[in-house]
A and B are shown apart, each in its own frame.
Chain A
Amino acid sequence: QVQLQESGPGLVKPSETLSLTCAVSGGSISTRPWWSWVRQSPGKGLEWIGEIYQSGSTNYNPSLKSRVTILLDKSNNQFSLKLTSVTAADTAVYYCARNGDYCHDSWGQGILVTVSS
């Protein structure tokens, strides 16, 4: 059974870049076409950030598009998230997830990222 695990800094300073990695284990990342990032904050609930396809093609939430980059690293069976110019509003639990049939059928445990100086 596939497992996803997020990693990265739990504390990021305002105006800096948030960088997270999602390691996929128990199966190849190539077995599913799309992989996503989702975040959850008390003020905004669950928010889809974006997704990446096997080819490297991406789709982003328009509300974050100018600041988000998602990359795929097939050789290491992982994908990553970069969010630039962060503010306190970006404080949230960040999840990586595997896309199913127009849904997310497997999720990582989540990582709390706090934006604070």
Chain B
Amino acid sequence: EIVLTQSPGTLSLSPGERATLSCRASQSVSSRYLAWYQQKPGQVPRLLIYGASSRATGIPDRFSGSGSGTDFTLTISTLEPEDFAVYYCQQYGPSPLYTFGQGTKLQIK
């Protein structure tokens, strides 16, 4: 099983700042198979990025994804108030087919 470790666990920033979230895999993951989700309290996870760097439909361009191999990054260029949420990375690969990271909570400083 591929384990995804996200860091930091909690990130405290202010609106207007840049956020950089990390997802590290225990084994190499194809870039095609890495996705990012946003989840606000009481809401459903929302797909932000798939294929490591492709934005999902309707996702603002301040969200970008990058990385390869075992290290992937989600960057939010300029934080808006609505961006404060929990972010999860997910990989598709060996059994189980899908695994998620434990999440990074992005909170207002």
Contact = CB atoms under 8 A, between A and B. Distances in A.
Interface of A: 36, 38, 45-48, 51, 59, 61-63, 95, 100-110
Nearest to A34: B97
A108 B96 CA distance: 21
Number of chain B interface residues as a range:
20 to 34
Contacts, number: 62
B47 interface: yes
A107 B32 contact: no
Interface stretch (B15-23, B66-74, B99-107): B99-107
Contact of B50 (A51, A63, A100, A107): A100
Contacts of B100: 45-48
A102 B102 contact: no
Nearest to B97: A59
B45 A101 contact: no
B88 interface: yes
